[in-house]
Amino acid sequence: MANMYAYNTSTARKLNIDTNGYRQNLQNELRDKAGTTRKAASKPQSKNKLSSLISVILAFAMAFVIVNGYVSINEANNEITQLKNEYGNIVAANQALQVKIDKTIDLKQLQTVAGEKFGMVRPERYQMFYVDLQMNDLSEDASATKTLEKEKKLAMMGVPGIITGTLNIFQ
């Protein structure tokens, strides 16, 4: 048997090495301390397990929230597409109905109904007259208008401008 020394809290003790060796002596030493070392070692492990479990749960929760958001966006897009298709079908049906209505209107029948029911008749030549709205083409030089506006602004500045402005008001 070989002698071996282990140092524990500033005291040296002689250890006997058996067939199990140094490990068995350490295990006996741990058992001798009434489990205080084991409890201290097990607490950080349980804290590590708990924190890793919480982080895994949080990761799954975040993944669930993200996937749920994408699903709701996808469902909304599908609903928008369906509504657009439905709107297009309704517009096409309205146009088809309008074409049917336009085809069924007969101008001669309309004229007879208007004459019989409402007493409407076509105007005679003597009832029609034309108004001549002859308008002359007017054009103005834009640069001349701008220079005139600039001159008015210059005249309005200062005491002479005030006097000129008041005289222009009374004219």
DSSP string, 88-119: HHHHHHHHHHHHHHHHH--HHHHHHHHHHHH-
79: tokens are 């609903």
Does residue 92 lie within any of the structural domains? no
How far is CA 143 from each of CA 111, 146, 147, 150, rounded to the nearest angstrom? 57, 5, 6, 11
121: tokens are 């008749």
Q: pLDDT value at position 135?
A: 75
How far is CA 30 from each of CA 10, 14, 27, rounded to the nearest angstrom? 17, 16, 5
Beta-bridge partners for 6: 13
Does residue 105 lie within any of the structural domains? no
List the domain range (segments joined by +) for residue 14.
Answer: 1-32
166: tokens are 């008041």
Does residue 153 lie within any of the structural domains? no
58: tokens are 């949080």
Does residue 108 lie within any of the structural domains? no
Q: pLDDT value at position 45?
A: 77
Does residue 167 lie within any of the structural domains? no
Does residue 18 lie within any of the structural domains? yes
pLDDT tens, the chain, 171 aa long? 455 555 555 555 555 554 445 566 666 666 666 455 444 445 667 888 899 999 999 999 999 999 999 999 999 999 999 999 999 999 999 999 999 988 888 888 888 889 899 988 888 888 888 887 777 777 777 777 777 777 777 656 666 666 777 777 776
How far is CA 52 from each of CA 42, 44, 64, 116, rounded to the nearest angstrom? 15, 12, 18, 92
Does residue 8 lie within any of the structural domains? yes
Q: pLDDT value at position 87?
A: 97
Residue with tokens 């479990």: 53
DSSP string, 126-164: GG--------------HHHHHHHHHHHHHHHSHHHHHHH
Number of compact structural domains in the chain: 1
